Amino acid sequence: MLSLIEDALMRRIAEAGLPYLRTVATYGGELDDALDQAVRKFPAVWVAFQAEGEGQPLNTAKSVYRIPAAWVVLVAARNLRNEAATRKGDKVHVGTYQMLKDVRTLLAGQDFGLEIDNLRPGRVRSMVNARFQAQGVSVYAMEWHTKYDYRVAERGTGASPTAAQLPELSRIGINYHLLPDDGQADAVDLITLQQGRP
């Protein structure tokens, strides 16, 4: 589920077509090491998984847990005019305040068609440090929160939750195509499986 949510967050931002945005990606430490290279990708939005909280059982059998999960969306912009321009922007460059507003508009209340609670905005923190200020860079981290249900495998079976939800395999179909292939099967075999027999 974590991967699905992360992909959906990035896709929603990337497909919005924000005219100023140059980078939408998962965060991989770009601001920690080579800042001079990272600024070439600004204005940028990075998505990073933050944490999961303790699951709360939803039934007395404790077979389903509600798991809280949080992501951080980093927005980063650069403006060499002055420190205020990195946040507020100007006629040429977007500022991080506008980026925060746009991301909030795109993500708040979304569930992306997944079985999750609607996204809720959390804290926004400034990632201020001397290196950023010297490069004319503004970075903010915005938290996003949701919850999803996790189904536990039936105790004692060793089966995974996913396997338990799959239908039992009872038939296998094999399609044969002659060349040149016209897209239609030229012959079909249907094999019926019998339980308890090798």
Q: Where are the domains of the chain?
A: 2-151
- pLDDT tens track for 26-66: 888 777 777 777 777 888 899 999 999 888 888 877 888 89
Q: Which residues pair with 45 in a beta bridge?
A: 24, 75
Write out the DSSP string of 33-56: S-HHHHGGG-SEEEEEEEEE---E
Checking DSSP bridges between strand 23-26 and strand 44-52, what pairing results, if any? parallel
The token duo for 30 is 């770009």
Reference 74, options 22, 25, 136, 3; nearest CA is: 25
- Give me the half-sphere count of Cα atoms (radius 13 Å) on the Cβ side of residue 7: 6
- pLDDT tens track for 60-99: 778 888 999 999 999 988 887 777 777 787 777 888 899 9
The predicted pLDDT at position 26 comes to 87
What is the rounded average pLDDT for all residues in the chain? 81
The predicted pLDDT at position 197 comes to 52
The token duo for 134 is 């010297």
Q: Which CATH superfamily is domain 2-151 in?
A: Phage tail protein-like (3.30.2000.10)
- Tell me the pTM: 0.70
Indicate if the pLDDT at residue 198 is higher than 60: no
CA–CA distance, 143 with 72 (Å, rounded to integer): 5
Checking DSSP bridges between strand 64-78 and strand 137-151, what pairing results, if any? antiparallel
